[in-house]
Amino acid sequence: MKVLVPVKRVIDYNVKVRVKADGTGVDLANVKMSMNPFDEIAVEEAIRLKEAGKADEIVVVSIGVKQAQETLRTALAMGADRAILVTAADDVHTDIEPLAVAKILAAVAKEENPGLIIAGKQAIDNDMNATGQMLAALLGWSQATFASEVAVDGDTATVTREVDGGLQTVKVKMPAVITADLRLNEPRYASLPNIMKAKKKPLDEKTAADYGVDVSPRLTVVKTSEPPVRQAGIKVGSVDELVSKLKEAGAL
Amino acid sequence: MAVLLLADVANGQLAKDAVSKTVSAVAALGDVHVLVAGEGGDAAAAEAATIAGVAKVIFAGDHGFCHLLAEPTADLIVSMAGAYSHIAAPSASDAKNILPRVAALLDVMILSDVTAVVDGDTFERPIYAGNAIQTVKSADSVKVMTIRTTSFEAAADGNSAPVEALGTAASTGLSEWVEDKVAASDRPELTSAKIVVSGGRGVGSEEDFKIIEALADKLGAAVGASRAAVDSGFAPNDWQVGQTGKVVAPEVYIACGISGAIQHLAGMKDSKIIVAINKDEEAPIFQVADFGLVADLFDAVPELTGKV
Ligand SMILES: Cc1cc2nc3c(=O)[nH]c(=O)nc-3n(C[C@H](O)[C@H](O)[C@H](O)COP(=O)(O)OP(=O)(O)OC[C@H]3O[C@@H](n4cnc5c(N)ncnc54)[C@H](O)[C@@H]3O)c2cc1C
């Protein structure tokens, strides 16, 4: 079985984002970029399926700017076999919407015929939490989102999902789209030899136009603003003082 | 036009607070029709009909909608979509699972976690873990959106909207529910509780999390946790507060042994009063805390439990 894993290049999760003074967006020039943490988990899960003999090839796909090539190389260094870069924007500030990304991924899936697609549950930049669900819809496939455990058995996958009340287990018919939550696994670091080897793994370059997908946004960004800043309050010296402050504030 | 609002229902129980806040978020956009899906949802449908601002409740009682599996529920909503300008739901795990699927089937974008409705096409939503707020204008014919309920007040009570039965049968075949592992609890629900007491990595173990729970129970509060506490097995996943967990905005949020990473702050920084108990006076949580206590939580938390 082939596993397809979409990966996104996003601002590193440790970087404090800055809203541009003119309100047009967030400053991404010269900031550290990394693979979206949820996508690392998705790549790791695919590698584990391959190690367990349940998958034989892992194809990673990234859609965005040319620089996403680095993100794909990271995935190849972790253990993916092959990469597809779909260039859909020139400016690093352009975020391709989940709907357009899902359309491109659906086109890739039709060419590649994977048995399973594992995506991250959300990208930590736009926080949409949508691409996997949209992709499953466009392909007419089943979906199992927010996965914390995946067991593949023949043509079904049993997936434990993190939901509001606790955990839910569903059985989905394959091919399926699974989206990874934080506790699915702990992704490995790529070793130096694997980073070197990854440089020689195949990386195909495509454009959105190759798949006939119009990536123009449906949502126009009117403005981007800073959230209200919360002022630090006071330090209290003791539990007694805390209790009396809370009472004064009418909180107890 | 009207708004179709997918109700959040689990085991026949309506998440009334969340649905009511969603009703008030979308009330200005048109008549609100609440959809309750799943066999056994009769009581939830009746309860939804009492929320002020609801024009009618549609109850799709087929067994196949139980557990709100994404595939049949999305098909159901798509089959009804023609009559609506907006399709909305509280940003709970079911809606996050279902509505992006609905949006793609309708060839429109999803608007996730809407925090303000500016007009019928224009909405605000947080990006980058709430470190920026984006105002977006949608060019789509139908707006499909999840609502961040902590940004809205609950609608009033005291309505008796009609409940209409819808006989649509669920599409089947793609996925199947196996089981839910849900811990029963007498505590208030995390996202609607007035007080939340949360523990982080500093609590150290599942056993020691009991001191967090004891304070919560004394205060009639819900219990929350940081990702580190959940990952370490001190607390169950459904207690996680943050960018990728639950978003809460209680009257009082008490963070114990939590450093205050941006991903955690994303889930609680709109709380009215934030209390931080941490032994490191440099912990970033103190930058957002109204009342900070630099102390060992193993001393301070039990003492606080004794004094409230
Ligand atoms: C993609 C992604 C998503 C994430 N999503 C979330 C999320 O939704 N929610 C979330 O919370 N995190 C999330 N995180 C993780 C986040 O970055 C932090 O790692 C996490 O919040 C840290 O948890 P913590 O504060 O409990 O632990 P730490 O940062 O280790 O802090 C522990 C604190 O406890 C204090 N302490 C220790 N012992 C004591 C004591 N005896 N008494 C008092 N204080 C003590 C320490 O001084 C320290 O400040 C996410 C990370 C990533 C990459």
d(CA A45, CA A121): 13
Find tokens 């009909």 and name the residue: B49
Q: Is B172 on the interface with A (CB under 8 A)?
A: no
Whether A240 sits inside 8 A of B180 (CB atoms) is: no
pLDDT of B43 above 90? yes
On the question of pLDDT at B183 being above 90, the answer is no
Residues of B in contact with A121 (CB under 8 A): 244
State mean pLDDT over A215-241.
95
The stretch B170-194 carries a mean pLDDT of 93
Q: Is the CB of B224 under 6 A from ligand 1?
A: no
Indicate the residue of A131, A167, A220 with minimum beta-carbon distance to B139.
A220
Model pLDDT for residues B249-289, shown as the tens digit of each residue = 999 999 999 999 999 999 999 999 999 999 999 999 999 99
pLDDT digits (tens, 9 = 90+) for B73-124: 999 999 999 999 999 999 999 999 999 999 999 999 999 999 999 999 999 9
User: Would you state the pLDDT for residue B76?
Assistant: 98
Tell me the mean pLDDT in the region B145-163. Answer: 97
Q: Is the CB of B243 under 6 A from ligand 1?
A: yes
How far does CA A190 lie from the centroid of its chain? 18
Q: Is the CB of B245 under 6 A from ligand 1?
A: yes
Q: Which helix (H) or strand (E) holds A112?
A: helix A98-112
CA-closest candidate to residue A166, choices B179, B146, B243: B179
Residues 12-41 of B with CB under 8 A from A: none
pLDDT score recorded for residue A231: 87
Strand partners, B195: B252
B36 contacts B60 by C-beta, under 8 angstroms: yes
Ligand 1 pocket: which of A44, A182, A184, A235 to mutate (most atoms within 8 A of CB): A182
**Could you tell me which residues come within 8 angstroms of residue A225 by beta carbon, excluding any fewer than 6 positions away?**
A19, A23, B132, B133, B135
State if residue B202 touches ligand 1 by the CB under 6 angstroms criterion: yes
B187–A contact, CB cutoff 8 A: no
* A 39-68 → B contacts, CB under 8 A: none
Q: What percent of chain B has pLDDT over 90?
A: 97
> With contacts defined as CB-CB under 8 Å, which chain B residues touch A161?
93
* pLDDT tier, A185 (very low <50, low <70, confident <90, very high otherwise): very high
Question: With 90 as the cut, is the pLDDT of residue B3 above it?
Answer: yes
Distance CA B165, CA B155 (A): 24
Alpha-carbon gap: A118 to the closest alpha carbon of chain B (Å): 15
| Statement: residue B1 has pLDDT above 90 | no
Q: In angstroms, what separates the C-alpha of A240 from chain B's closest C-alpha?
A: 8
Q: Of all atoms in ligand 1, which is nearest to the CA of residue B283?
A: 49
Residue B229 Cβ inside 6 Å of ligand 1? The answer reads yes
Q: How is the beta sheet containing B163-166 ordered, strand by strand? A: B110-114, B143-147, B84-90, B2-6, B32-37, B54-60, B163-166
The region of weakest confidence among A214-223, A225-234, B126-135 is: A225-234
Distance from CA of B248 to the nearest CA of A (A): 13
Does the pLDDT of residue B246 top 90, yes or no? yes
- Quote the distance between the C-alpha of residue A230 and its chain's center: 29
CB A98: neighbour CB atoms within 10 A? 26
Does the pLDDT at position B70 exceed 90?
Answer: yes
Interval A47-87: pLDDT, tens: 999 999 999 999 999 999 999 999 999 999 999 999 999 99
**Contact criterion met (CB below 8 Å) for B192 and B17:** yes
The answer to whether B205 contacts chain A (CB < 8 Å) is no
What DSSP designation does B151 have?
G
Q: How much is the mean pLDDT over chain A?
A: 97
Phi, psi torsion values for A68, nearest 5 degrees: -65, -10
Rounded to an integer, what distance in angstroms lies between the CA atom of residue A108 and that of residue B254?
A: 47
Is A22 an 8 Å CB contact of chain B? no
Query: What pLDDT does A29 receive?
Result: 85
**Does the beta carbon of B279 lie inside 6 Å of ligand 1?**
yes
Whole-Å CA distances, A107 to A100, A212, B227: 11, 9, 36
Residues forming a β-bridge with B199: B225, B256
Q: Where do runs of H (alpha helix) occur along chain B?
A: 16-26, 42-48, 70-80, 93-105, 209-219, 227-231, 262-265, 297-307
Helix (H, G, I), strand (E, B) or coil at B50: coil
**Ligand 1 test: best mutation among B93, B190, B278, B296, most atoms within 8 Å of CB?**
B278
Q: What mean pLDDT is reported for chain B? A: 97
pLDDT at A164 over 90: yes
Can you tell me whether residue B275 is helix, strand or coil? strand
**Structure token digits, residue A94:** 């352009």
Interface contact A134-B230, CB threshold 8 A: no
